[in-house]
Chain A
Amino acid sequence: MRRSAYLLFAAASLLLALCPAAAATRPRYGGTLRVALSASPTSLDPVQQSVFPTSTQEQLATLMFDRLVELDQQGMPRPNLAISWQHDSDSRRWLFHLQSGVLLHNGSPLRPHLVVMSLSASNPNWRVRLQGDDVVVESGNPIPNLLAELGCARNSIVVHTEAGAVVGTGPFRVSAWEAGKRLVLAANDDYWGGRPFLDSIEITFARSQRDQALDLQLGRADVVELPPDQVRRAQQEGVRVAVSAPAELIALAFSDKPSVKEPALREAISLSIDRAAIQSTLLQKQGEAAASLLPQWVSGYSFLFPVTGELERARQLRRDLGSTPSLTLAYDWNDPLARAIAERVSVNARDIGIAIQPYGENLAVRGANADLRVVRIPLASSDAAATLSALSAATGRQSVMPTASPEDLYATDRALRSDFRLVPITYVPQAWALAARVRNWVTPRQGGWRLADVWLEEGDKP
């Protein structure tokens, strides 16, 4: 199937190359951007995301919702709904001054109390309140990386209407929504940052990689996902590809079941994994092998952790454990890469005498039967401290808020992995295959998209 996908990408590129290039240099308003995705989200509310939010959920959130601040390519906070902020000396109390005149998608103004309600819902540990027209965020512990936290998708400002719908202030508003199947977004003409170039975005969900390649080849889609292991060949085939920095962590997440309660068992499995082989072969040298929670470009220290398996140590741990049960490893059945990694993990574990049976599961109806899972965790932020904090919260640990110092980040990273509940395997980039008419596509380093800046070449609509 992957070979077929390559051929399809190649054919699509050839077709696009044959098209007359308009060579337009001035942005143009209008058009519908058609996107095909493999995910099938059932909710648009970023606050209702699962423990590990998917990249798709993060990406959808950037289209419909704003945050108080946003992070630039270097991870530095920039004003968004909040135009300025202050904090006390130990960073326990933050005050945000909101810009005025921002309208929700339903036309009503964004009141400060709605911001307070949204942040309070997504951050129960914070005390969020109004101070005049300003919003105050307080915490018992110092929160020096609050700005990076607020730049995460889960801190999007979401307003729930009386009808039960969610509305935001983002550049696009929901025009049509069929859970798990299709989403149509229309340009928000009243967007405080200016109307986006695109008139609308039509997103089709639950499209397999093969279908996405066909959609792109046949002109039924302008943007499709490109699995990391196909980036190399797609580039060789001349397909227009946009690739982020390693921005999504693929890891093993152990459950709380008694079968995997022994930390030594989890450590043995972790040590058995040959991450380098996964990165070099399965991922076709895309991304980077991950022995830490953060990629090298975010942390700066990841290279310190060995990514090759330590079989002798793993076998010793296995022997010390005595008998071990046969474990089940779940992966998203729509994700071939996750399947390949799960099977490789199973092979590696077999080397040390631990039986792991991989099986595919539907993420929409994920059960609690698996002993461990292959999970994809998008980089919450380009800020290392904020990402570690988000990971600690996502894995149910006590919230940590490390400082930006490398030593503190290193220690926090080690501490978060010390119980081997979350075992990093690799960091993969987000990649997109683009139609030729898509213009001004910018891929942030931490992944995602900036569709508000994208415009479509005129006359390229099939």
Chain B
Amino acid sequence: MSYRAKLLALFTATVVLVTALVAGLASTSMRRSFERLEEQRTAELLSQFRREFSRRGDEVTRRVQAIAARDASIRMAADLGRSSPDYAPYVNEAGSLAAAHQLDFLELIAHDGAIVSSAQWPARFGYKEEWITAPVDWNEQSAFLKRENLADGTALALVAVREVRAGDSVLYIAGGERLDRSFLATLSLPSGMRAMLYLNNEPAFSPQALTDASGPVAHAEKLAPVVQQIQQQGEQGSQIVWWSENPASAEAIHGIPLKGREGEPLGVLLVGSSRRDVVEMEKHIRVVAMLVGAAGVLLGLLLSGWAATRATRPVEQLADAAREVAAGNWWAQVPITSDDEFGELASAFNLMTRELSDQRERLVQAERVAAWRELARRLAHELKNPLFPLQITVENLLRAREQNPAQFEEVFRESASTLLAEIANLRGIVQRFSDFARMPAPELQPVRLNEVAEHVLKLLEPQFTAAGRAPITAKVELDPELPVIQADPELINRALQNLVLNAIDAMPSGGSLALRTSHRDGVVTLAVSDTGTGLTREECERLFTPYYTTKRHGTGLGLAIVQSVVSDHHGKITVESEPGRGSTFRIELPVQIPQTGTARGANV
């Protein structure tokens, strides 16, 4: 991944992270605000319930008190206080009294707790209400919650009890109002809230016992956990209930236990608050946050792209300049557009290339001088050898003419022959220098390297067994699968001849010459090995330097020419050698020469 891409990714990630963080904080803050609002609404509703409860209790107490204050009630108390009271005349009394005083429940109870008359369950006359005979001053008691047993089940009632005394006789009047969905309907609820009553104290949850102002609650079983939790702990609790998979269907349920006069659990009041508004607001916030985030990300991408481009442009310019230097443009410079670290770096780079150029110039000059000196030395050395015989021969001619004219003619012929030979030698020397100077550019064409190797071997094979020297045996190991390469066959042929001739020269006492070809990974290898005298490490290091030779009469141009040919074919040549154990020259050539790049650099 490029530096610019990394920079872009970093900028983008930062923008996204910041945007997400801001959106999350905003959403959380909004949710908490809603939750606080919801808690306030719930608390207000519960407070309203308690106020309504208190108001209803006062009203029930007032009605029961009105019944107790009737003269008929006092007469009834007196009548029932007799030794053998007759309850029959009063068995239907409670029903009519309850209707007249708008009470849902009313029971007239004798001093022993026996029901004289019951409005809510007339058939229960004669049964005992033991709780009412407890030593309590009922006339001082306010209304309380009580579970009323009815023929068709139970009901929660707000009950007040008053005593009517006639002498020693006492008549209890227990009247009440049913707490059911009609009671819930009287509560003014904010939008999205509802109140529910659960009137069952059995351990198992009963969905039918849960009602709201409109009737039985659908899917009431979902509220079982919160109801059971409140029943078990006797304290208020809350839970969020999802009525469907839609999050907007969620409802926050708060519940408080309803307890009787002695703290016994009677039921649970549940307040449900729809979370639709919260969910929709969260959804809205999420959408807005996503839009803002997307816009932020887009803007961030643009800005970060611009910033990354701006930040990496000097680096790219440096890279381009470095590539130019690598390509040979030692004078490459980068513009300095700032005075920051990148400007300093560009300045340093420019200074470096200038220094490198100067040093290279000086090095080239030095190398050129050294080359000319070496050339002059080699040329002087090469020319000195033929010149000395020429000088001797000419002095012999002069001496023969002066001292022995009779033999001049013979001496002249011998000397002339020598002179011509030496002159030919001089011409040969000049020709080799000329050839090295005129190395042509390779003309590429498909070449089978095995065929070149076989041709060279065949051409030079007579020298292996030439007279006057120890025989050399040739060993050929050519790869039959060797691919065809793009090369100049003449140059390759010339380079290989040089290597083979060097190998022959290296084995004056005879030996073995091996020629091998192989290929791997698009590179063909040609190895020429001999079992000759070998080379030292220092010799190996200088071996390809022009005009360096280890031979007595060599020009030092042979291996330089080989290296030049290999380099022109984008290959490389290496040598492995040890003194006394022969040498191996290995040429590696690519099967396909790259189309670009024309630098003539030998790889050694």
Chain A minimum-CB-distance residue to B93? A3
Q: Which residues of A contact B3 (CB under 8 A)?
A: none
Decide yes or no whether A2 CB sits under 8 A from chain B: yes
Interface flags for B532-575 (1: CB within 8 Å of A; 0: not) read 00000000000000000000000000000000000000000000
Q: In the assembled complex, how far is the CB of residue B125 from the closest CB belonging to chain A, in whole angstroms?
A: 5
Are B88 and A280 neighbours in the complex by a CB distance under 8 Å? yes
Q: Name which residue of chain B comes closest to A347, CB basis.
A: B123
Using C-beta atoms within 8 Å of the partner chain, give the interface range for chain B.
Answer: 10 to 19
B-contacting residues, A358-379, CB 8 Å: 358
Q: Is residue A242 contacting chain B, with contact meaning CB distance below 8 A?
A: no
Chain B contacts of A274 at CB under 8 A? Answer: 126
In the bound complex, CA of A2 to CA of B96 (Å): 9
A97: Cβ under 8 A from any B Cβ: no
Is B408 on the interface with A (CB-CB < 8 A)? no
A188 located at the interface, meaning its Cβ lies under 8 Å from any Cβ of chain B in the complex: no
Tell me how far the C-beta of B86 lies from the nearest C-beta in chain A, rounded to whole angstroms: 8
A281–B88 touching, CB < 8 Å: yes
Residues from chain B with a CB closer than 8 A to the CB of A282 are 91
Q: In the bound complex, what is the Cα–Cα distance between A282 and B126 (angstroms)?
A: 11
Q: Does B34 sit within 8 A of A, measured CB to CB? A: no
Cβ of B286 < 8 Å from any Cβ of A? no
On whether the beta carbons of B87 and A347 are closer than 8 Å, the reply is: no
Contact present for A277 and B122 (CB under 8 Å): no
B133 interface contact, C-beta 8 A: no
B121 part of interface (Cβ distance < 8 Å)? yes
Say yes or no: B151 contacts A343, CB within 8 Å: yes
Report A-chain residues with C-beta under 8 Å of the C-beta of B31.
none
> Does any Cβ of B come within 8 Å of A155's Cβ?
no
How far, in angstroms, from A3 to B96 measured CA to CA in the complex?
A: 8
Closest to A286 in B: B88
For A358, give the chain B residue with the smallest CB separation: B151
* Contact residues of A: prevailing secondary structure: helix
A136 to B548, CA, bound (A): 168
A346–B151 touching, CB < 8 Å:
yes
Most chain A beta-carbon neighbours within 10 Å: one of B89, B96, B123, B126: B123
CB of A82 closer than 8 Å to a CB of B: no
Task: Judge whether B89 and A284 touch: CB under 8 Å.
Answer: yes
A3-B96, A358-B151 known; A343 vs B89 contact (CB < 8 Å): no
Given contacts A282-B91, A284-B89, A285-B88, contact A277 B96 (CB under 8 A): no
Determine the chain A residues whose CB is within 8 A of the CB of B91 once the complex forms.
Answer: 281-282, 284
B92 contacts the other chain (Cβ, under 8 Å)?
Answer: yes
Question: A116 near B: Cβ within 8 Å?
Answer: no
Q: Which residues of A pack against B, CB within 8 Å?
A: 2-3, 232-233, 274, 277, 280-282, 284-285, 340, 343-344, 346-347, 357-358
Given contacts A274-B126, A281-B126, A358-B151, whether A347 and B88 have CB atoms under 8 Å apart is: no
Q: What are 17 A-B interface contacts by the 8 Å CB criterion?
A: A2-B92, A3-B96, A232-B88, A232-B89, A233-B89, A281-B88, A281-B91, A281-B125, A281-B126, A284-B89, A284-B91, A340-B122, A343-B151, A344-B123, A346-B123, A346-B151, A347-B123
B87, B89, B92, B151 — most chain A CB neighbours (10 Å): B92
Contact status A347-B121, CB under 8 Å: yes
The docked-state distance in angstroms from the alpha carbon of A281 to that of B127 is 13
Most buried by B among A274, A344, A346, A347: A347
How near does chain B come to A240, taking the closest CB pair, in angstroms?
21
CB pair B125–A277 under 8 Å, yes or no, is yes
A347 to B123, CA, bound (A): 7
Chain B residue at minimal CB-CB distance from A284? B88
CA distance A277 to B88 in the complex (A): 9
- The distance in angstroms between the C-alpha atoms of A281 and B125, with both chains bound, is 8
Contact of B123 among A3, A280, A285, A343 (CB under 8 A): A343
Q: Give residues of chain B (318-342) contacting chain A, Cβ–Cβ below 8 Å.
A: none
B494 within 8 A of A: no
**Distance, CA A274 to CA B114, complexed state (A):** 15
Are B92 and A3 closer than 8 Å at their CB atoms?
Answer: yes
Say if the beta carbon of B124 comes within 8 Å of chain A: yes
Rounded to whole Å, the gap between the CB of B57 and the closest CB of chain A is 29
Per-position contact with A for B57-91: 1 when CB-CB < 8 Å, else 0? 00000000000000000000000000000011101
Extra inter-chain contacts (15) besides given A281-B91, A343-B151, A357-B152, CB under 8 Å? A2-B92, A3-B92, A233-B89, A274-B126, A277-B125, A277-B126, A281-B125, A281-B126, A282-B91, A284-B88, A284-B89, A340-B123, A344-B123, A346-B151, A347-B123
CA distance A277 to B151 in the complex (A): 18
Closest residue on chain B to residue A4 by CB atoms = B96
Give the top 8 A-B pairs by smallest Cβ distance, nearest first: A343-B123, A344-B123, A347-B123, A281-B88, A3-B96, A284-B88, A281-B91, A277-B126
The residues in B between 357 and 378 inclusive whose CB is less than 8 angstroms from any CB of A are none
Q: How far is the CA of A232 from the CA of B90 in the complex (A)?
A: 13
Tell me which of A3, A232, A357 has the highest count of chain B C-beta atoms within 10 A of its own C-beta. A3
Chain A's closest residue to B125 (CB) is A281
* Known A-B contacts A2-B92, A281-B91, A284-B88; A343 and B126 likewise in contact (beta carbons under 8 Å): no
Write the nearest CB–CB distance from B10 to chain A, whole angstroms. 75
Q: Give the CA-CA distance A396 to B352 in the complex, in Å.
A: 129
Closest to A279 in B: B88
Could you tell me the distance between the alpha carbons of A3 and B123 in the complex, rounded to whole angstroms? 17
Q: How far is the CB of A340 from chain B (nearest CB, A)?
A: 7
Chain A residues contacting B152 (CB-CB under 8 Å) are 357
Residues of A within 8 A of B124 (CB): 347
CA distance A117 to B155 in the complex (A): 60
B76 to chain A, nearest CB (A): 14
What is the chain B residue whose CB lies nearest that of A282?
Answer: B91
Measured between beta carbons, the chain B residues less than 8 angstroms from A232 are 88-89
Q: In the docked arrangement, what's the CA distance between A274 and B127, Å?
A: 11
Q: A190 to chain B: closest CB distance in Å?
A: 49
Q: In the assembly, what is the distance between CA of A343 and CA of B96, in Å? A: 18
Chain A nearest CB: distance from B160 CB in Å? 24
Q: Which residues of B contact A233 (CB under 8 A)?
A: 89
Interface 1/0s, chain B 123-163, versus A by CB < 8 A?
Answer: 11111000000000000000000000001100000000000
How far, in Å, is A213 (CB) from chain B's closest CB?
15
Chain A residue with the shortest CB-CB distance to B97: A3
A193 CB → nearest B CB, Å = 43
Measured CB to CB, the closest approach of chain A to B147, in angstroms, equals 16
User: In the complex where A281-B87, A358-B151 touch, is A343 in contact with B122 (Cβ < 8 A)?
Assistant: yes
Across-interface contacts of A280 in B (CB, < 8 A): 88
**What residues of B have a CB within 8 angstroms of the CB of A358 in the complex?**
151
Cβ contacts under 8 Å, B92 to chain A: 2-3
Give the residues in chain A near B122, CB-CB below 8 Å: 340, 343
**Closest B residue, CB atoms, query A341:** B123
| Given A3-B96, A340-B122; A347-B89 close (CB under 8 Å) | no
Closest A residue to B149 using CB positions: A350
Q: Name B123's closest neighbour in chain A (CB-CB).
A: A343
Instruction: Provide the bound-state CA to CA distance between A280 and B126, in Å.
Output: 11
Instruction: Give the complex CA separation of A285 and B88 in angstroms.
Output: 8
Using Cβ atoms and an 8 Å threshold, which residues of chain B touch A347? Answer: 121, 123-124, 127, 151
Specify which chain A residues have a CB less than 8 angstroms from the CB of B89 in the assembled complex: 232-233, 284
A261 to B151, CA, bound (A): 25
Q: Of B87, B124, B151, B152, which is in contact with the most chain A CB atoms at under 10 Å from its CB?
A: B151
Provide the residues of chain B in CB contact with A343, threshold 8 Å: 121-123, 151
Task: Kindly state the separation between the CA atoms of A343 and B124 in the bound complex, as whole angstroms.
Answer: 9
- A344 to B118: give the CA distance in the assembly, Å: 12
In Å, the complex CA distance between A224 and B151 comes to 32
**Bound: A3/B119 CA distance, A:** 14
A272 nearest CB across to chain B (Å): 13
Specify which chain B residues have a CB less than 8 angstroms from the CB of A2 in the assembled complex: 92
> How far apart sit A284 and B90, CA to CA, in the bound complex (Å)?
10
Once the chains are docked, how many angstroms separate the CA of A137 from the CA of B92?
Answer: 52
